[in-house]
Amino acid sequence: MSRIGKQPINVPAGVKIDLEGQHIIVTGPKGTLNRDIITEIEVVYQDNVIKVNNRIETTRVNAFRGLTRTLINNMIIGVVDGFKKVLVIEGVGYKANVSGSTLTLNVGYSNPVEFDLPKEVTATVAGNTKITLECISNEMLGLVAAKIRQVRKPEPYKGKGIRYEDEHIVRKVGKAGAA
């Protein structure tokens, strides 16, 4: 029983939905997103409301129903408002710079790390240590943010590295605390 999948999705004014078989296209003020839907799921659009239904009642399909509903809802939110993630760089001498679609990270390696951003993602750097990523696709944004964080993960002793703004790093006690 999918409780999320049963909820209808209200489509705001200014958003255009095109359903072509198992392919959905969402167009809004910020751009266009599209997605293929598995054949066991049926999407019905009428009177500015989207409903997601199962064609076959199984536990697996029910799980996909909730997933599909959430993905379509995220597409609508993305084309209307967009998504934003903030990464924070901590460490002495660690900094970031953006020029065009290239993010340059100086995070303790002998050479700066050049990270090419996809064309859908925009980045701004505030104060050399705060990277703000924006995109209409929540999936793409999360993937890019995870790859940037992967360049220098936060370490547990001093907390140096790249972390999400709302992420809490559990600190460990060093050598001196063991005695």
Phi, psi dihedral angles at 140 (to 5 degrees): -65, -40
pLDDT of 49 reads 92
pLDDT in the model for residue 51 = 93
Superfamily of domain 83-164: Ribosomal protein L6 (3.90.930.12)
Same fold across 3-80 and 83-164: yes
Residues with Cβ within 8 Å of residue 133, at least 6 apart in sequence: 84, 85, 86, 87, 121, 122, 123, 141, 144, 145, 148
Q: Side by side, which strands form the sheet with 102-106?
A: 95-99, 102-106, 113-116
Q: pTM here?
A: 0.86
Residue 32 is predicted with a pLDDT of: 94
DSSP string covering 90-104, please?
A: ESTT-EEEEETTEEE
Domain 3-80 classification at class level:
alpha beta
**Do 148 and 132 contact (CB within 8 A), yes or no?**
no
Domain boundaries along the sequence of the chain: 3-80, 83-164
Distances in Å between the Cα of 159 and the Cα atoms of 23, 85, 146, 168 are: 44, 20, 17, 10
Mean pLDDT by 10-residue block, N- to C-terminus, for the chain (179 residues)?
82 92 92 93 91 90 92 94 95 92 92 94 92 94 95 91 91 74
For 143, other C-beta atoms within 10 Å of its C-beta total 14
Cα-only R_g, the chain: 21
What pLDDT sits at residue 5?
85
